[in-house]
Amino acid sequence: MSLRPPSSLPGLPVQLIEWLRGYYDELVTLVRLVADLQPRYQLVTFAAATTDVQVFHGLGAPVTAWEVVDRDTDSNVWQSATVNTNPALFIILQASAPVVVKLRLA
């Protein structure tokens, strides 16, 4: 589900819809720029190895980069091969062992 206005809405002029879509795109760009100035950190708990964990990132657009900056045990973390139906809100990750990690998201 995207928050971006649809390409057509009954009763609204096409020019207004295109303006709203352009305005939304510019707001997303601005939010990403501000988010890049202040890195977003998030704690994520992986209760079991190689199990999908859906992480709400709150960026309003797909994650462009992420990194593990701290962990409570030795493990690897990677992006899941599972299809993400809502990348503007979530990223799906897996870990090689049960672990709590601190992520930096951009």
Report the predicted TM-score, pTM, of the whole model to 2 decimal places. 0.65
Question: What was the pLDDT predicted at 36?
Answer: 63
Q: How far apart are CA 96 and CA 75, in angstroms?
A: 5
DSSP 45-71: EE-STT--EEEE---SS----EEEEEE
> What would the pLDDT profile of 4-30 be if each residue is shown by its tens digit?
667 676 777 878 878 888 888 888 788
DSSP state of 92: E
Strand order in the sheet with 90-95: 53-56, 90-95, 77-79
